[in-house]
Structure 1
Amino acid sequence: MQNKYSLFFYWYLLLFMIRSNVSLAQTPSNNYPKVVGYAGLVHSLIAFDSQGSTGNFGSVYTVGMPVGINILKSDHIGASLEFVPIVRSDASQTRVSNFLFHPGIMFRFKHGFTFVGRAAFETSGRLGFTPVFNKVIKKGKDTNYFIAIPLPVRFGNDKPTSIGIAFQFGIGF
């Protein structure tokens, strides 16, 4: 039941942010709201659960290919919708093994740092949340290059709760 309320909260917050911008349209404020996109690669490094740990660079390798849209309300806050197909490769096959819908709220700080709190909904039947620590490493005129450390927490689908660490890099445009 708690998960339904979390989803409701995220969507309500997103709608509130969009609604707030419409009502403040008479006051120009640094060209907000802004809509920006990004794409990248995310590599799971290790995951821990009650049965032990699982690394990613052994007999099985998985990589996610996140693409997303960020709706920036100001220099300090925004909403993000991320979509991540996850490809799994082993000795016998390579296939899309999972798809992740990853909405979140962005808290932007000085010097290119961002914290994103994301909800997680996977086609594998797992759900959870992912705190993401992000840093712009090169800012260009039309593009930004970034790195991020996601910390996925997943539960459900009759599997033990897990927590992991991943490395993501990408380009924002």
Structure 2
Amino acid sequence: MQLKNLQCILMLLLSAASFSQNSFHKISAYVGVMHPIVTINRDETALNFRDYYAVGLPVGINLWKSEKIGFSFEVVPNIKDDQGSSKVTNLLFHPGILAALGHGYTFAGRAAFESSGRYGFTPVLSKTVLKSQNCSYFLALPLPVRFGNDHPASFTVGFQAGIVF
């Protein structure tokens, strides 16, 4: 029964997208590695690589409506190694709007919903740095802002690298 529900959801998404000739300019998928560099809240400033090691592994799909605007859905498992013990700390659901800025730059405005109970938004500025016939490589600057789960609001500066297919 669950497989049938999943099939219905996928069909609904495909129908909503209405794959007519003018609906989407391009559909692409991507994978990457995201390192938070510094996280700031009212209680502390934490530095990745010094205080602990954390990494996110984003996987996503971009649906471009035109050459200028699109929708993206990203899922990011986050892993943290703190004092020799590593674990998946949360899973981030990260839908957003894409805006092509020209010259290889793209802005993504993403909503953020974490399985850890946190939520917020993430503005991301990315730049395609190498483009080949089959894929493109990009660098990005994600700036997550998070709230909730009885923790103070936080702001993070991160660095992301990835490949688009």
Short-chain TM bin: 0.7 to 0.9
Aligned partner (choices 83, 91, 98) of residue 99 of structure 1: 91
| Higher helix residue share | 1
How far apart are 1:164 and its partner, in Å? Answer: 1.1
Q: Residue 169 of structure 1 corresponds to which residue in structure 2?
A: 161
Q: Secondary structure at the match of 2:67?
A: coil
In 2, Cα distance between the equivalents of 1:119 and 1:42?
Answer: 17
Which structure 1 segments of 5+ residues have no match? 1-14
1:147 matched to 2:139: yes
Does the alignment pair 1:22 with 2:18? Answer: yes
Residues of 2 paired with 1:159 and 1:32: CA distance?
40
* 1:110 alignment partner in structure 2: 102
Letter in 2 for 1:104: G
Deviation of 1:91 (Å): 2.7
Identity of aligned residues (%): 47
- Equivalent pairs, count: 152
RMSD between superposed Cα atoms in Å: 1.8
Matched residue, 1:86: 78
Alignment-mate amino acid for residue 109 of structure 2 = G
Aligned AA for 1:139? Answer: K
What residue number does 1:7 align with? none
Q: CA deviation at 1:101?
A: 0.4
What secondary structure does 1:109 align onto? strand
Task: Write out the 4+ residue segments of structure 1 that deviate beyond 3 Å after TM superposition.
Answer: none
- Counterpart Cα distance in 2 of 1:77 and 1:140: 22
Is 1:73 matched up with 2:65?
Answer: yes
The equivalent of 1:60 in structure 2 is 52
Distance in 2 (alpha carbons) for counterparts of 1:164 and 1:22: 37
Cα distance in 1 for residues equivalent to 2:75 and 2:36? 16
